[in-house]
Each structure stands twice: as structure tokens, then as C-alpha cells.
Amino acid sequence: MTGTILVTGGSGYIAGYLIRQLAAQGWKINTTIRSLKREPEVRAALGVPGSSIRFFAADLMNDAGWAEAVAGCSHVAHVASPFPPNAVKDENELIVPAREGALRALRFASAAGVSRFVMTSSVAAIAYGHPGDRTYTEADWTDVEAPGVNAYAKSKTIAERAAREWVAANGGAMEFCTINPSAVLGPLMSDDYSASIEFVKRLLDGSVPGFPRLGFAVVDVRDLADLHVRALTAPGMANERFIGGGPFMMMREVGEILRERLGPEARKVPTRGIPDFVLRLMAVFDNSIRQVTGELGRTRAASSEHALVVLGWESRPAAESIVDTARSLIDRGIVKV
């Protein structure tokens, strides 16, 4: 199956790999960016044939450009959503554009007669606000009223719930499903890398003195793009939800893989742990660390079995993704070793 598809947020990490895979399969792609001044830069990073893709200026918080971007499209992959590297002062800086952007994309897609709408959500909409540690599935939802749930998790949960409610009331025959990825790693497409890559960068450049008791479920961006493609093209996707994630790994495990696979290039990677109180002290001066202190000692594993059973999807070994991320950071000069 091919046709014309709108991929929102074309300058983003996940969207970039999705666009590459769709172009390789013969799709015609419309994509949104906030300013067309970035079109030459984004085109160069994507490296897809010029005839395969058209760019449209559109913003999550404004109607301008959306009708033109989705015109003639049978499918939409709504990937665009705010994901800042640092903590925000007001949680609505994330919640409002995430929710309103999803609803805006849905309204214009429905008006254009789109038949399939795949939205990139997150395991952040699944695994937070719950006591204890366990393995989460698509049946779970983050409790946004629970203490300690951060603004990003709230934004993804509220946006996905709002989208599902809108589709139930107004979607008609349009099929809607979500992809809920864990921490996304893999080779960089440009120097504008995603926030989830920051923890690998910090291990490599020695900016953390030791391993905090923090961990993440890891998924490769190339495999995540493939999961989107499968959800866009498989039959019977109405109201589906797919976790895209691999194994949960503590930062110490990630560091051990880096030292083993990269040798001298990983010489700045720490070799010992750091107490929780040290990380909390660092968080006083570093907003990006402040966002994760609530995760100390937590294990938020998420099962991708549903994606395997329904779509035949699997992610490559996490070690490969970690090493490819590190190699890309080094090769681009983002990390000096």
C-alpha cells in the first residue's frame, strides 16, 4: 500500500526516520515544519528524493497551513509534540500544545477524508502515577492526578485521551491508533537530537560523576519508524494502541555496554554509582536532571508483546541501539572523546 501521507513535525527525530522509510516504499509525503526557512536544512538531513516530499508551514497552536498540508492525503502520522530537554516552569507549556495540536490535526484530517490516523504517544501516557514496579501494557494509563507525575507524562496522557475521545465522538470511519514508545535511541539524523539521547551523551562526555539509580526502556528509532509504518498499513487498526519498547536498562548497564564496545572512546564513562542525594543536589542546578529525580530506583518496564502478536514487530538488541547512538554522537563531534 502506498499513497499520500501527512507526517507532522518533519524536522523531528522519529518523523525523520519515518519519512525515510515511507519514501523508500514509494509514498508521497507531505510534512509540516514550523517555518519554511528550515526546509533546505531538513531536506538535506532527510536525504530523500525531492519529488517524494513537500513541506508546509504549520504550528500545533494555529490553524494556518493545516488544510493545505493534509489535502489529498489518505493517511496521517501525527508525530509532532513538544518534548523540551529541560523542565518547564508551567506544565501547560507542554500540555496545551500537545492536546490542542493533536485535536487540530484530527479535525483537519477528518475534514480532508483521511482514512487512517496514527498518533505518536508515549509510554509516559501509560506507566506513571502507579505505586510499585511492574510491567505495563497498553491497558494501563498514567494517573495524571498522582503526586510526582511530571509535565511531560501529563501532556502525553492528556493529549492521547483527548484524541481518543474526539475520535469516538467525531471520527466517523477514520481509523485511529497510537504508538507509545519508550526512550528512543539510535543514530542521529542531524545535530538537532532528541531529548532521550541526552543520557547517553552525558555518560560519554563525563558530565555525570557516576551512575544514578535511573533506568529507561530502550527502543531503536529505526524500529520505531517501522512500527509506525506497520500501524499505518495493516488492516483493522481502529482504536489500537501499541507499546514500542525494548528492555528496561539501568544507566549502569548502559555504561557497561559503552565501555565494552567502544573501548578508549568510552574512557569518560563512569565506573561507579552515585548516591541519590548527590543527584538531587545536582538537580538544584540542572533542570534536565530535576525532571528525572522522581525516577530514582524505579523500574518502569513496558511489554511490546501486543505489537509482536498483532503486527509482527520487534526491536533490535538494545546494545546495538546504544552503541549506534554513541558512535553517532562521536562522529558528529557532539561528544569529544
Look up residue 19 and give its three cell numbers.
Answer: 519519512
CA distance 206 to 321: 20
Q: Catalytic site residue 156? A: yes
- Own/partner contacts of 172-175, CB < 8 Å, gap of 24 or more, are 172/110, 173/115, 174/109, 174/110, 174/114, 174/115, 174/116, 174/117, 175/115, 175/116, 175/117, 175/237, 175/238
Out of 28, 37, 154, 156, which one is annotated catalytic? 156
Which DSSP state fits 137? -
119: three-class secondary structure by DSSP: strand
* Residue in 252, 124, 255, 250 with CA at minimum distance from that of residue 195: 124
CA distance 205 to 265: 10
Q: Name the maximum alpha-carbon separation found in the chain.
A: 58
CA distance 276 to 253: 17
Look up residue 223 and give its three cell numbers.
Answer: 524500529
Contact 66, 110 (CB under 8 A): no
**Catalytic residue positions?**
156
